[in-house]
């Protein structure tokens, strides 16, 4: 029987690849991570409601107990006694994952390597990189998706240091809706790290991106309106996250897909970090038990709800702000946030359903898929 170089090869050392590598390396598994970057930078902030523990708790930079939604009829203030909205710094996350991998001699991070091809050769996999052929018994594909979504969350954000103390550090401005520039639903998101420091982001849920120039002008307008007294840009981030039911790279028998290309982004929101942690837990658990890993996180009912929700905001985007406002105004404490984070608890789902205006959702639910 041919002998593979590694038991497990992970293609892509981003959020999903490093999340699973950290768990498998800690369990003493023999693995490699193939990643084109030659060094990691603090390139993003992953924010989400914490619903379960994960190995990156010490990478949390800030937490909040309150968040605001600015809709057409006013601001909705939501709080939670139990649930925290938290932000993980990507820089700290990459450092932590690299340190776990380097502490385990059976785990290797191969930086500066791209996986160009993957083929089954009898009982083992062959991965072609620019330098070599790497063989493995199991392959996890956590590479970036190869296509732009047909509907998605598009955004541009700057973490800024302001001259004036203009931010409320206790409250996240989750969605401050604006008159749409895109063909979808547009809003501003502000993650305050201090009175004079925040990540300010302009975002569209839309069929296509507004483009960098329009996003930049919009972002500058929003920051000017904050009366910062002048500001310095500390970091920029942008993205195109899929909001599509069933968004996945094509299935390849035996390959384990994780991350955005493995359907990790919640179709109705684009949130992915917490779901990637759930995927990584499932995959690590399956390796421990020697069973086939399952990375699909959604029940048929959750998929149905996401489909209906997306259909409503895609067909009547002008009602999007009012729909989100009504959702945040009416859903019981924590239930909506847990649902948005990926909870499959039936009571969370039911609470969300009953908080939405019936008519547009009934129409969308009855429309052909
Ligand atoms: C700027 C930004 C901010 C975000 N903020 C949030 C947030 O606040 N909350 C949230 O829940 N989600 C957020 N997301 C969404 C999601 O959590 C992230 O996109 C997350 O990084 C997805 O993880 P991933 O592993 O699928 O992709 P990535 O982290 O992008 O990793 C993919 C990896 O594949 C590698 N790769 C590409 N080609 C190859 C190849 N040929 N061979 C080998 N490797 C390859 C890439 O270099 C990369 O390291 C954000 C996304 C972005 C872009």
Q: pLDDT: is 78 or 338 the higher one?
A: 78
- Ligand 1 in reach of 113 Cβ (< 6 A): no
* Residues with Cβ within 8 Å of residue 207, at least 6 apart in sequence: 150, 151, 183, 184, 314
What residue segments make up the domains of the chain, in order of their start? 152-242, 300-366
Q: Is the CB of 11 under 6 A from ligand 1?
A: yes
- Give the pLDDT band (50/70/90) at residue 349: confident
Any atom of ligand 1 within 6 Å of the Cβ of 49: no
pTM over 0.85: yes
Closest Cα to atom 51, ligand 1: which residue? 239
Nearest CA to ligand 1 atom 38: 143
| 302-329 confidence digits (pLDDT tens) | 788 888 888 888 988 998 999 899 889 9
Q: Is 142 in the pocket of ligand 1 (CB under 6 A)?
A: yes
CA 237 to ligand 1: nearest atom: 1
189 lines ligand 1 (CB under 6 A): no
pLDDT digits (tens, 9 = 90+) for 211-222: 999 999 999 999
Q: Is the pLDDT of residue 170 over 60?
A: yes
Pull the structure tokens for residue 71: 């809709």
Using the predicted structure, report yes or no on whether residue 26 has a pLDDT greater than 70: yes
- Calculate how far, in angstroms, residue 166's C-alpha sits from the geometric centre of ligand 1: 31
Whether residue 158 has pLDDT greater than 90: yes
User: 15 CA distance to ligand 1 centroid (A)?
Assistant: 6
Ligand 1 close to Cβ of residue 90 (< 6 A): no
Q: Is the CB of 241 under 6 A from ligand 1?
A: yes
The reply to whether CATH 3.40.50.2300 applies to domain 152-242 is: no
State the average pLDDT over residues 287-310: 84
109-132 per-position pLDDT tens digit: 999 999 999 999 999 999 999 999
The DSSP string of 57-79 is GGGEEEEESEEEEEETTEEEEEE
How would DSSP label each residue in 103-141?
H-TTEEEEET--EEEEEEETTEEEEEESS-EEEEEEEEE
Q: pLDDT per residue over 38-54, tens digit each?
A: 999 999 999 999 989 99
User: Which residues neighbour 309 within 8 Å (Cβ) at sequence distance 6 or greater?
Assistant: 268, 361, 364
Mean pLDDT rounded to a whole number for the chain: 92
Closest ligand 1 atom, residue 238 Cα: 1
Ligand 1 contact via 273 beta carbon (within 6 Å) = yes
Per the CB < 8 A criterion, the answer to whether 243 and 306 are in contact is no
The CB of 14 under 6 Å from ligand 1? The reply is: yes
């Amino acid at each position: 029987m041919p002998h593979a170089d590694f038991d497990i090869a992970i293609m892509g050392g981003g959020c999903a690849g490093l999340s699973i590598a950290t768990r498998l390396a800690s369990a003493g598994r023999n693995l490699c991570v193939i990643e084109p970057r030659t060094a990691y930078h603090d390139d993003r902030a992953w924010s989400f409601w914490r619903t379960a523990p994960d190995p990156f708790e010490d990478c949390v930079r800030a937490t909040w107990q309150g968040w605001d939604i600015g809709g057409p009829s006013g601001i909705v203030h939501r709080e939670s006694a139990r649930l925290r909205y938290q932000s993980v710094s990507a820089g700290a996350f990459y450092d932590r994952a690299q340190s776990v991998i380097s502490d385990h001699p059976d785990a290797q991070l191969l930086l500066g390597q791209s996986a160009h091809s993957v083929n089954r050769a009898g009982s083992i996999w062959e991965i072609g990189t620019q330098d070599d052929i790497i063989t493995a018994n199991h392959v996890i594909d956590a590479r970036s998706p190869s296509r732009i979504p047909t509907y998605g969350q598009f955004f541009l954000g700057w973490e800024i240091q302001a001259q004036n103390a203009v931010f409320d550090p206790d409250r996240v401005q989750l969605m401050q809706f604006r008159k749409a520039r895109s063909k979808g639903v547009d809003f501003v998101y502000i993650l305050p790290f201090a009175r004079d420091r925040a990540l300010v982001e302009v975002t569209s849920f839309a069929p296509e991106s507004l483009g960098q120039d329009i996003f930049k002008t919009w972002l500058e307008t929003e920051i000017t309106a904050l009366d910062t007294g002048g500001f310095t840009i500390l970091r920029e981030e942008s993205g195109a996250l899929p909001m599509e039911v069933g968004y996945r790279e094509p299935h390849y028998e035996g390959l384990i897909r994780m991350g955005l290309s493995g359907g990790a982004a919640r179709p109705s929101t684009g949130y992915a970090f917490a779901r990637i942690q759930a995927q990584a837990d499932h995959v690590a658990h399956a390796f421990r038990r020697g069973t086939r890993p399952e990375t699909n996180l959604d029940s048929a009912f959750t998929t149905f709800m996401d489909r209906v929700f997306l259909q409503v905001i895609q067909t009547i985007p002008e009602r999007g702000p009012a729909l989100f406002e009504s959702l945040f105004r009416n859903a019981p404490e924590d239930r909506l946030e847990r649902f948005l984070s990926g909870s499959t608890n039936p009571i969370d789902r039911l609470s969300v359903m009953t908080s939405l205006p019936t008519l547009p959702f009934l129409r969308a639910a009855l429309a052909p898929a």
